[in-house]
Amino acid sequence: MRRQVGALLAVALVAACGGPNETAGSTAATATASAKPAPVALKVAVPTMSADFLWTYVAKDAGIFADNGLDADIQYIASTQSVTALVAGQVDVSLGAGSDVLSAAAGGADLVVVAVPSPTYPFIFEAAPGINTASDLKGKKVGVSSVGSSSDIATRVALRKLGLEPDKDVVIIAVGSAQERTAAALAGAIQGAVSLVPDNLVLEEKGWKPLFNLVDLKLPAVQNVVAFDRKFFAARRDVAQRFVDSLVLAIAREQKDRTFSIEMIRKWSKIDDPKKAEVTYDFYAKIHPALPYPKVEQFADSKALLGVTNERVRSFDVAKILDDSLLRSAADRGLDKR
């Protein structure tokens, strides 16, 4: 009788606990609940493969994007077309020039800038052999990627610093991307251009000379920005936050890990020469701020120069497209200190 009662109690306890497989089932359910969700696919437009986007390469290959739940597809979309692709919905985020974002926004595109990773001009103005002074440039052709692009604005700023009036003392012509600008210079199609590092070293090996280093001036600029379509930003703010978190963490890694960063430059910017890769790292590492807040004054040159021929740009309120809340969140969590 006692054995029957004991057996019945045992059956009752098993039933109350959900049967002999309940523990295994609970463990499986817990494991499933704690598993990471699949990374969110994100199309990222980069206008040039220069080391100005080093933090992007670091975020990709160091697994920082992945750790933040992002499957970042980095796409090379040359010059102003990176912002055009954003407006057209072909990409989710553009790392193109702030001047292009300004033009698009003034024209009616609903965009938002959440960071400015390169808040100054990362250019060196190079001149062809035989041109030793600014006055030697008079009457010569100076190449830019496209009218209104960051290289165009930087060129006009540099020329004025050299005492020359753009479109009067020199002829400014659009020749394409940074790589195409270098090719045009080597082909003799232009006699002056702002150059990115290490493209400037390629030119100098062929007898070109640096006339002006814009980085030394530390002028506020929007060489490249992180921009989203506002509808995407509103609907997927969590994704935008994860992207900005990745940006801050990648810049921190870039600053601390010189060896890895140089490897990224060699891989993504396709720089085979180790020395050139080192020079490139040293140049760009000092440009990217730990917390790249977007600021109205960074757009001043773009607005002034583009506004000469575009009244909508001239009267546009830049503050309307800036949102620093994602960076403030990253700073509050100390991501820049990791």
Q: Which of 174, 196, 217 is the last residue of a domain?
A: 217
Task: Give CA 139 to chain center in angstroms.
Answer: 35
- Residue 147 belongs to a domain with what CATH number? 3.40.190.10
277 within a domain of the structure (yes/no):
yes
- If one counts the domains in the chain, the total is 2
Host domain of residue 102: 40-120+221-337
Same domain? 113 vs 226: yes
What residues contact residue 288 under an 8 Å CB cut-off, 6+ apart? Answer: 54, 55, 117, 118, 251, 254, 255
13 within a domain of the structure (yes/no):
no
**Burial of 239 per CB tally in 10 Å (0-12, 13-18, 19+):** buried
pLDDT band at 48 (very low <50, low <70, confident <90, very high): confident
pTM: 0.84
Same domain? 111 vs 235: yes
Q: What would the pLDDT profile of 151-161 be if each residue is shown by its tens digit?
A: 999 999 999 98
155 within a domain of the structure (yes/no):
yes
Q: Which of 196, 217, 238 is the last residue of a domain?
A: 217
* Alpha-helical regions (H) of 35-149: 54-61, 64-67, 81-87, 98-106
Q: What would the pLDDT profile of 59-87 be if each residue is shown by its tens digit?
A: 999 999 999 999 999 999 987 899 999 99
Residue 315 has pLDDT above 90, yes or no: yes
Residue 6: its pLDDT value, please?
Answer: 42
> Of 130, 116, 44, 143, which is closest to residue 289 (Cα–Cα)?
116
Same domain? 307 vs 238: yes
What residues contact residue 219 under an 8 Å CB cut-off, 6+ apart? Answer: 120, 121, 157, 301
Same domain? 88 vs 141: no
Residue 213 has pLDDT above 50, yes or no: yes
Q: Which of 192, 217, 242 is the last residue of a domain?
A: 217
Residue 210 has pLDDT above 80, yes or no: yes
Same domain? 162 vs 266: no
15 within a domain of the structure (yes/no):
no
Cα–Cα distances in angstroms (integers) from residue 92 to residues 58, 166, 172, 321, in the given order: 19, 35, 32, 16
Residue 15 has pLDDT above 80, yes or no: no
Percentages of the chain per state (helix, strand, coil), in multiples of 5: 50, 15, 35
Same domain? 195 vs 241: no
Same domain? 229 vs 177: no
Residue 148: its pLDDT value, please?
Answer: 85
pLDDT band at 36 (very low <50, low <70, confident <90, very high): low
Same domain? 112 vs 250: yes
The CA-CA-CA angle for residues 243, 246, 249, to 5°, reads: 155
> Of 210, 150, 144, which is closest to residue 182 (Cα–Cα)?
144
247 within a domain of the structure (yes/no):
yes
Q: What would the pLDDT profile of 223-254 be if each residue is shown by its tens digit?
A: 999 999 999 999 999 999 999 999 999 999 99
Say which DSSP state 90 is in. S
Residue 37: its pLDDT value, please?
Answer: 64
109 within a domain of the structure (yes/no):
yes
Residue 179: its pLDDT value, please?
Answer: 85
Same domain? 149 vs 115: no
Tell me the Ramachandran region of residue 68: left when phi exceeds 0, alpha when psi lies from -120 to 50, beta otherwise: alpha
- 23-32, 62-71, 121-130, 135-144: segment of lowest average pLDDT: 23-32
The answer to whether 76 and 270 are in contact (CB under 8 A) is no
Residue 214: its pLDDT value, please?
Answer: 92
CA distance 289 to 291: 5
Percent of the chain past pLDDT 70, that is, above it, reads 89
Residue 8 has pLDDT above 80, yes or no: no
Same domain? 207 vs 289: no
Residue 302 has pLDDT above 60, yes or no: yes
In the predicted model, what is the mean pLDDT of the chain? 89
Bridge-based pairing of strands 224-229 and 93-94 is: antiparallel
> Of 245, 243, 261, 241, which is closest to residue 253 (Cα–Cα)?
261
Helices 98-106 and 150-161, packing angle to 10 deg = 110
Same domain? 131 vs 257: no
94 within a domain of the structure (yes/no):
yes
| Rounded (10°) CA dihedral 292, 296, 298, 304 | 160
Residue 35: its pLDDT value, please?
Answer: 56
Residue with tokens 């232009």: 190
CA distance 185 to 252: 35
Same domain? 152 vs 269: no
33 within a domain of the structure (yes/no):
no
Residue 26 has pLDDT above 60, yes or no: no
